[in-house]
Amino acid sequence: MTMLASLPQFPWLSLLVLLPLGGALLCLLHSGRAAECRALALATSLAVFGVALYLFVCHGQGEGRWLLYEDSAWISRYGIRYVLAMDGIALLMVLLTAFMQLAAILLAWKVERQVASFFALLLLLESGLMGIFLAYDLVFFYLFWEVALIPMFFLISIWGGVNRRRAALKFFLYTLVGSFFMLVAMIALYQIHGGQTGVYTFVIGELLQTRLTATQEGWLFAGFLAAFIVKSPLVPFHTWLTDALTEAPAAGSLDLTGLLLKTGIYGLIRVAFPLFPNATANFLPILGVLALVGLFHAAWSAYHQDDIKRLLAYSSISHLGLVVLGLAAWQLTAWEGSILLMVTHGITTGALFILVALIRERTATRSMQELGGLWGQVPCLAFFFLLFSLASLGLPGLANFAGEILVLLGTFQDHPVWAVVALLGVVFAAAYMLRLIQGVIWGPAAKERSLPDLTPREWLMLLPMALLVVWLGLYPEPFLAPLHGTVATLLAGGLP
């Protein structure tokens, strides 16, 4: 019924996926003309953001499982369909992607080398991310999963830092190996479902009805889990992230931490959990413990870093540990908190990565040993740094707190020990974040030098993020509202 109703509608979801793709192609056609490429990329991502905003405002509320659904035959011989489906969670992720991409484009404004390719890759990445967040056919999902991987690989290996080759290869190998398991599990599920019903299909909604034995379910779930856990990343599969985030170019780090990491957790929510409910139920306790281990391990490791970017990379892992913990709690409030935390973490840590890039541009260093006293030299930049750091350490009234407290409140209902342990992690989050703040903006100025404060372009990047951080901290209601129905459905069993 949903499908029929949405048929005459304008294909907004396809537009979200195809617009950046078109922008990327246009950028390549204009290679050699840097200014045009920049304008083109900005215009494209503005348009995508406009569409996402429109969907948020006009289609944010709806009855039933899906807010928007697009379905048409693609490769019918193998039962592969072109299915894009948007629920409340996808809506938030799409909005976050469109928003962060704007910042990434602005941040990449100063890239000098191979401008057209850089922007084309960024836009291709956006297209891939949109696809991951919207696809509801396994083949389609897998396709975008890999599509999002390739631009990031090139972004790191061409425009990255000193050890970019190694980092890019590590990133590529980890995620590729992970997704290989997913591919195998996917095909196995396809065969099992086809064998049972005679209908060979990759559409997730139909695969939900597959009857699996416990062993089958366990193995298939493990296959999907491999891809999602590596991408999330949970300890001990996280070392690719620290290297990749440290070496990636600024815009790449922003997309990687703000968006690409979320795809793993999103995959859990959208694909793995609904398809394999029994295996999920068995696995949740392990997932919770893994999340806690990750939370603490990363928080402790972060404390020991000198490179700001590496510290932030670890802080990302730590935060995502909390997100996964919320999912493992399998409780409405905790889930909504997790999803909100994904969004807020994307914004705050993304903004911090932007700031690190700006600091690097000005001082040519990312080492806390060589930084300090930025408050006196670049007060506006330092103010934003302070604001986002505080948001990241979970200060009430700023964005991350809203997500964190929901996760903790929800988790405590059924798993008080988890919540208490996670709360202890808050102290360590404060420890490394305060060390970061102290090392970067307080203290004596490392060198007497006059540094330029924020330019209008940089204001344009940071100010909306800052406003959003405060808004999400004080009034997250508009962003929670689309989640209620979706999360309740997913927790109840996830059948459409």
Partner 1 sequence: MNHSLLFLIPLLPLFCAVINLLFGMRLPRLFAEVMAVTGVAGAFVLTLIFWGHAEGEGTRAVLFTWLNSGTLDVSFALNFDRLAAPMTLMVTGVATLIHLYAVGYMHEDDDYGRFFALLNLFVFAMLVIVLADNLLVLFLGWEGVGLCSYGLIGFWYRKLENAKAGTKAFLVTRVGDVFLGIALLWLFALTGTLSIDAINDQAAAIPSGVVIALSLLLLLGACGKSAQVPLMTWLADAMAGPTPVSALIHAATMVTAGVYLLCRFFPLVSLSAVAMTAITAIGALTAIYAATCAMAQREIKRVLAYSTMSQVGYMFMAVGAGTVAGAMFHLLTHAFFKAVLFMAAGCVIHLAGDENDIFKMGGLARRGPVELFWVFLAGAVCLAGLPLTGGFFSKDGILLALFTHPDPVYRVFWLVGVLTALLTAFYTFRLVYLVFAGDYRGAGHPHAIPLLMRWPLWPLALLGLAGGLLNLPAFVGGGERLHHWYGALAGREVSASHDVEWMLIALAAAIAAAGWLAAHWRYRSYRPPLENRASRFLLSGWQADALVDRLFVRPFAAMARFCSSGCDRTLLDGTLDGLARLVSSWASMLVQLTTGRLTTYLSAFAWGFLIVLGWFLIKLVNGGGH
* Residues in contact with partner 1 by the rule CB under 8 A: 236, 238-239, 242, 297, 300-305, 314, 331-333, 336-337, 372-373, 375-376, 379, 390, 395-397, 402, 405-406, 408-410, 412-413, 416, 419-420, 423-424, 426-428, 430-431, 434-435, 437-438, 441-445, 474-477, 480, 483-484
Give the distance from CA 386 to its chain's centroid: 23
The nearest distance, CB 420 to partner 1, in angstroms, is 5
Structure-token pair, residue 169: 């290869």
Compare residues 74 and 300 and give the one whose CB is closer to partner 1.
300
Backbone torsions φ then ψ of 74, nearest 5 degrees: -125, -75
The nearest distance, CB 478 to partner 1, in angstroms, is 11
Q: Is the dihedral of CA 283, 285, 288, 294 positive or negative?
A: negative
Compare residues 32 and 376 and give the one whose CB is closer to partner 1.
376
The secondary element (H helix, E strand) that includes residue 69 is strand 68-75
Q: How many degrees, rounded to 5, is the angle at CA 16 between CA 100 and CA 151?
A: 60
Residue 97: helix, strand or coil by DSSP?
helix
Q: Is 417 exposed, middle or buried, given 0-12, 13-18 or 19+ CB atoms closer than 10 A?
A: exposed
Compare residues 151 and 326 and give the one whose CB is closer to partner 1.
326
Compare residues 188 and 423 and give the one whose CB is closer to partner 1.
423
Compare residues 289 and 434 and give the one whose CB is closer to partner 1.
434
Backbone torsions φ then ψ of 71, nearest 5 degrees: -145, 125
C-alpha distances out from residue 417 to 146, 303, 323, 326, 424, Å: 38, 24, 16, 13, 11
The nearest distance, CB 240 to partner 1, in angstroms, is 9
Compare residues 17 and 390 and give the one whose CB is closer to partner 1.
390
Cα separation, 246 vs 366, in Å, equals: 10
The nearest distance, CB 179 to partner 1, in angstroms, is 18
Cα separation, 271 vs 362, in Å, equals: 43
The nearest distance, CB 105 to partner 1, in angstroms, is 27
The nearest distance, CB 492 to partner 1, in angstroms, is 13
Neighbours of 173 (CB within 10 A): 11
Structure-token pair, residue 442: 């307080």
Largest CA distance in the chain: 74
Compare residues 316 and 333 and give the one whose CB is closer to partner 1.
333
Cα separation, 387 vs 472, in Å, equals: 14
Compare residues 252 and 372 and give the one whose CB is closer to partner 1.
372
The nearest distance, CB 477 to partner 1, in angstroms, is 6
Compare residues 26 and 469 and give the one whose CB is closer to partner 1.
469
Is the bond preceding residue 236 a cis peptide, omega within 30 degrees? Answer: yes
Compare residues 193 and 297 and give the one whose CB is closer to partner 1.
297
Compare residues 147 and 474 and give the one whose CB is closer to partner 1.
474
Closest CA to 126 of 191, 182, 59, 48: 48
The nearest distance, CB 67 to partner 1, in angstroms, is 19
**CA torsion angle for 203, 204, 209, 215 (degrees, to 10)?**
120
The nearest distance, CB 368 to partner 1, in angstroms, is 12
Query: Which residue is listed with tokens 């537009």?
Result: 15
Cα separation, 233 vs 239, in Å, equals: 9
The nearest distance, CB 242 to partner 1, in angstroms, is 7
The nearest distance, CB 115 to partner 1, in angstroms, is 34
Given a contact cutoff of 8 angstroms between Cβ atoms, the answer to whether 412 and 419 are in contact is yes
